[in-house]
Amino acid sequence: MYDKITAPTTGAKITFKNGEPVVPDHPIIPFIQGDGTGIDIWPAAQKVLDAAVAKAYKGKRKISWFKVFAGDEAFEVYGTYQYLPQDTLTAIKEYGVAIKGPLTTPIGGGIRSLNVALRQIFDLYACVRPCRYYPGTPSPHKTPEKLDVIIYRENTEDIYLGIEWRQGSEVGDRLISILNKELIPATPEHGNKQIPLDSGIGIKPISKTGSQRLVRRAIKHALLLPLNKKMVTLVHKGNIMKYTEGAFRDWGYELAVSEFRSECVTERESWILSNKENNPNLSLEDNARMVEPGFDALTSDKQAQMVEEVKTVLDSIWESHGKGKWKVMVMVNDRIADSIFQQIQTRPDEYSVLATMNLNGDYLSDAAAAIVGGLGMGPGANIGDECAVFEATHGTAPKHAGLDRINPGSVILSGVMMLEYLGWQEAADLIKKGLGDAIANRQVTYDLARLLEPPVEPLKCSEFAEAIIKHFG
Ligand SMILES: NC(=O)C1=CN([C@@H]2O[C@H](COP(=O)(O)OP(=O)(O)OC[C@H]3O[C@@H](n4cnc5c(N)ncnc54)[C@H](OP(=O)(O)O)[C@@H]3O)[C@@H](O)[C@H]2O)C=CC1
Ligand SMILES: O=C(O)CCC(=O)C(=O)O
Ligand SMILES: [Mg+2]
């Protein structure tokens, strides 16, 4: 079955039923060490995960690790251009749940991202990146503890599909010519715009299916959260990219009010409902005026549309959602992408689950991780219906590679997400306690040590892992 790897002789496969993993006590889990700092952070993470499982289950449960290759290691074992060998793909498909370190992607040319390829090959459509604060973590932000968000990033499409053409390439030039001569003039709203002839060209597909399955997962997650966190914010730049990012927003709302109608309220609906709750005799027009402060300046057509919106909401959900019932439901709202970057800093506690397209989520997850202590504290998971691959938010951080100094926290916390996904909560809790107590005791790696006041001597990457284990209690 495999060319250059051998599966562990002990352990069993994780299988999937209705999108959920069915986990044996001794699951075989493939891991990719990763390039760059992978050589530091993976051994540290593996040690912490094994120690937590051993302590929590006393041998009853144990992970059988299966080393598989990707990136630079694969190149060495399998030969030139074999960055993502078939063995690795076969193993991940076979065992269903895997964990990986970061993999290098060259800029401006060369191979396309192996990280992205794994997500697309296994249809891991939801990239889940929680950003929460561990007390004592130094942060450039004044109130990092107020940020507790989970980014649900669409993981398979958008510009990450990688359909693009280099400037000056034959196909790229043909495409520009067809667009300039035929397709743009055939679309009146584009006026006389033309694409500069010396452009590179990329395609940004955003599908209804891809958007809605991501938002579905985000809402399902929000349903499980405590009342003050039952919120999903659709993040988009739909004012500019109307038919891709704007459509993402519209499809998100459409899904929320169709599949989750009895459990969801949109922000605008909540305004309309609460206006009536506060003043039962409020006319439809006055209600619309309160929802839209610029109502009186609108054209009569637009005013009529808004009044119709108020009427439709009250007619359709006043009984089911009115009189405060909406207050215990999941609130779905939306924010424009540039605004959300400042909102998570100025109003961090007003956000919970952030549903995004691929590129926005990529940017936003690094920015949110910075608030709670940096990329060393940013875990992640790539989740599909029949496969999951856990990986940190950060990359290979090459300048720190092999120095035993980088923070393994984000891979360790990705491991915590994996344990929780497996249902091994006791082991996950031990690690969260150990990591939290190590940080609270100022036992941290260079990235956090340099921000602490007064400064502390940093722990090595491997020493931080040991400190976490000691703090299991
Ligand atoms: N999923 C993946 O595998 C990903 C891969 N990549 C790839 O990684 C490569 C390098 O990307 P780059 O842009 O440098 O981004 P990186 O995320 O690798 O590193 C940027 C900086 O972030 C900080 N950082 C990263 N990881 C940690 C950590 N574990 N602990 C503490 N600080 C950390 C360091 O800052 P400082 O030096 O200031 O301390 C580092 O120099 C590229 O090839 C990129 O494509 C990028 C993102 C994700
Ligand atoms: O694959 C890469 O090199 C970068 C991907 C990335 O930045 C991410 O997924 O957050
Ligand atoms: Mg990124």
Judge if 83 and 11 occupy the same domain: yes
| Whether residues 196 and 96 fall in one domain | no
Average pLDDT over the chain reads 97
121 & 1 share domain = yes
Q: What is the pLDDT of residues 29-72, one digit of tens each?
A: 999 999 999 999 999 999 999 999 999 999 999 999 999 999 99
Whether 24 and 110 share a structural domain: yes
Centroid of ligand 3 to alpha carbon of 314 (angstroms): 42
Same domain, 44 and 110: yes
Query: Number of folded domains in the chain?
Result: 2
Is residue 357 domain-resident? no
Give, using CA atoms, the residue closest to atom 47 of ligand 1. Answer: 395
Domain boundary among 155, 186, 202: 202
pLDDT at 297: 96
Does the annotation count 362 as an active-site position? yes
Environment class of 17 (CB within 10 Å of its CB; exposed 0-12, middle 13-18, buried 19+)? exposed
Q: Where are the alpha helices (DSSP H) in 98-158?
A: 114-121
Share of the chain above pLDDT 70, in %: 100
pTM comes to 0.97
Residue nearest to atom 3 of ligand 1 (CA): 102
Considering the domain architecture, whether residues 93 and 175 belong to the same structural domain is answered as: no
CB of residue 120 inside a 6 A radius of ligand 2: no
At 9 the pLDDT is: 96
Task: Say if 320 falls within a structural domain.
Answer: no
Minimal-distance CA residue to ligand 1 atom 24: 375
**Ligand 1 interacting residues, C-beta cut-off 6 A:** 102-105, 115, 374-376, 391, 394-399, 406-407, 410, 447
Q: Give the pairing of strands 15-17 and 20-22.
A: antiparallel
How much is the ipTM here? Answer: 0.98
Same domain, 2 and 112: yes
Q: Cα-atom radius of gyration of the chain, to the nearest Å?
A: 25
CA distance 140 to 19: 39
- Amino acid type, 42: W
The domain of 189 spans 164-202
Tell me: is residue 113 an annotated ligand-binding position: yes
Task: Output the CA 377–ligand 3 centroid distance in Å.
Answer: 14
Cβ-proximal residues to 368 (8 Å cutoff; 6+ apart), any chain: 129, 131, 147, 149, 151, 344, 378
Asked whether residue 6 falls in the same domain as residue 90, the answer is: yes
Q: Are residues 176 and 104 in the same domain?
A: no
| Pairing assessment for the beta strands 97-100 and 28-32 based on DSSP bridges | parallel
Are 151 and 179 a contacting pair, CB within 8 Å?
no
What per-residue confidence (pLDDT) applies to 80?
85
Check residue 109 and give its pLDDT: 87
Per-residue pLDDT at 293 exceeds 90 = no
471 in Cβ contact with 441 (< 8 Å): yes
Give the residue among 438, 361, 445 at the shortest CA–CA distance from 397.
445
175 part of a folded domain: yes
- 156 alpha carbon, closest ligand: 2
* Final residue in a domain of this structure, among 154, 181, 202: 202
- Pick from 387, 446, 374, 453: nearest CA to 413: 374
Burial class (CB in 10 A: 0-12, 13-18, 19+), 81: exposed
Residue 106 lies inside a defined structural domain of this protein = yes
Whether 81 sits among the annotated catalytic residues: the reply is no
Mean pLDDT for the stretch of residues 157-178: 97
Q: Are strands 264-266 and 28-32 parallel, antiparallel or unpaired?
A: unpaired
Same-domain pairing of 4 and 112:
yes
Q: Which of 118, 67, 117 is nearest to 93 (CA)?
A: 118
Given 155, 184, 202, the domain boundary residue is 202
User: For residue 355, what is the enclosing H or E element?
Assistant: strand 353-356
pLDDT in tens, 119-167: 999 999 999 999 999 999 999 899 999 999 999 999 999 999 999 999 9
CATH code at position 26: 3.40.718.10
Structural domain contains residue 371: no
**Ligand 2 atom, smallest distance to 362 CA:** 10
Instruction: Determine the pLDDT at residue 193.
Output: 97
Q: Which of 405, 411, 408, 372 is nearest to 389 (CA)?
A: 411
SS3 395: coil
Whether residue 71 is found in the same domain as residue 4: yes
- Whether ligand 2 lies within 6 angstroms of the CB of 362 is answered as yes
Centroid of ligand 3 to alpha carbon of 394 (angstroms): 6
Q: Is residue 189 domain-shared with residue 101, that is, in the same domain?
A: no
Residue 388 lies inside a defined structural domain of this protein: yes
pLDDT tens track for 436-460: 999 999 999 999 999 999 989 999 9
Among residues 296, 293, 297, 275, the alpha carbon closest in space to that of 284 is found at 275
Which of the listed residues 105, 114, 383 should we mutate to test ligand 2's pocket, taking the one with most ligand atoms within 8 A of CB?
105
